[in-house]
Structure 1
Amino acid sequence: MFKGFKEFLMRGNVIDLAVAVVIGAAFNTVVQKVVDSLFTPLIGAIFKADSLDTALVVGLPGGGALSFGAVIGAALNFVIIAAVVYFVFVLPMNTLRERSAKKGEPEATLAETEQELLVEIRDLLKAQAQSGGAPR
């Protein structure tokens, strides 16, 4: 039972997931500061409120209130966070990955050449075995 648990914990994908969670938590702080420091004040200035939570509030006859600003603010925060993540982190990483893949193209050609050579060697060995000749 413990052996299986140890194997589960030592799998590469479990460790990768743990690292991703830790990095994600640290990354969340950076993204949240960008949104809170840059975008939220701009949105507040546009709607003339300290935050969207206090903007576009509609009172109800029974004493409650509908906070359309809070819903709009949450949606805007999501879009802004997604844009920051994409343009600051994902797009540059994809660009780097593409550049490294372009540099790696000769290796792919080399791998295909090695495979072709191995196929030729196999075929030659089969032909020698069928003709009864020993390899030199």
Structure 2
Amino acid sequence: MLKGFRDFIMRGNVIDLAVAVVIGAAFTAVVTAIVTGIINPLISAIFNAKSLDHALVVGIPTVSGGTSNLMFGTVIGAIISFLAVAAVVYFVMVMPMNHVKARLDARKQAGAPDEPPAPTDIELLAEIRDLLKAQAPTGAQNQPPQL
């Protein structure tokens, strides 16, 4: 029972789903706080702006005579935020799970006996055929079934 549960948990798609949930829920607040509280002010100090949203703003003229702003600081902030989230998830979730999986695989390779492969459909059908022949009364094996 526990082996089946462990195999289920160690499947790649379950781990990927868990990582996605963690990225979306738990680490978002922490990483956002780090980026907003530490990284953005450092970068803003370099560009002399209050936040990255106001750093590297480039005004371009429009056809109607006004200006439109390109917000490069906002894009830089989003990239930094993404990289911070990816780094936290990798070092906290993915790397330890890969290490555990590698240890389990090494233990399995070292000495755990492998389970025999499951029989194929053809093998199962042949076995059923043989069992039915064995149960049939003698002399009825070569006769067609009665409808």
Task: Please indicate the TM-score interval, normalised by the length of the shorter structure.
Answer: 0.5 to 0.7
After superposition, give the CA deviation of every residue in 1:69-94 in whole Å (9 maximum; x if it has no partner). x2x12321222122112222223322
Task: Please give the residue correspondences for 1:10-25 in structure 2 after superposition, counting only pairs within 5 Å.
Answer: 20=21, 24-25=24-25
Counterpart check, 1:76 vs 2:63: no
Asked if the contact 2:52–2:77 (Cα under 8 Å) also holds between the matched residues in 1, the reply is no
User: Partner residue of 1:97?
Assistant: 97
Give the match for residue 112 of structure 2.
Answer: 110
SS at match of 1:66: strand
How far has the Cα of 1:59 moved from its partner?
A: 6.2
Residues 1:78 and 1:64: Cα distance change in structure 2 (over 3 Å): same
Please state how far the C-alpha of 1:47 moved relative to its aligned partner.
1.2
Any stretches of 5+ residues in structure 2 without a counterpart?
1-13, 120-126, 131-147
Once the two structures are aligned, what percentage of the paired residues are identical? 29
Name 2:59's counterpart in structure 1.
58
CA RMSD in angstroms, aligned pairs only: 3.8
45 and 60 in structure 1: CA distance in 2 versus 1, 3 angstrom threshold:
same
Structure 1 unaligned runs (5+)?
A: 1-12, 120-125, 130-136
1:35 aligns with 2:38: no
Larger RCO: 1 or 2 (CA < 8 Å, sep 6+): 2
Query: Distance between the aligned counterparts of 1:86 and 1:95, measured in 2?
Result: 12
- Native 8 Å contact 2:52 2:76 kept in 1: no
In 2, Cα distance between equivalents of 1:103 and 1:58: 56
With normalisation by structure 2, the TM-score equals: 0.51
Count of aligned pairs: 102
Distance 1:29 1:81 in 2: 11
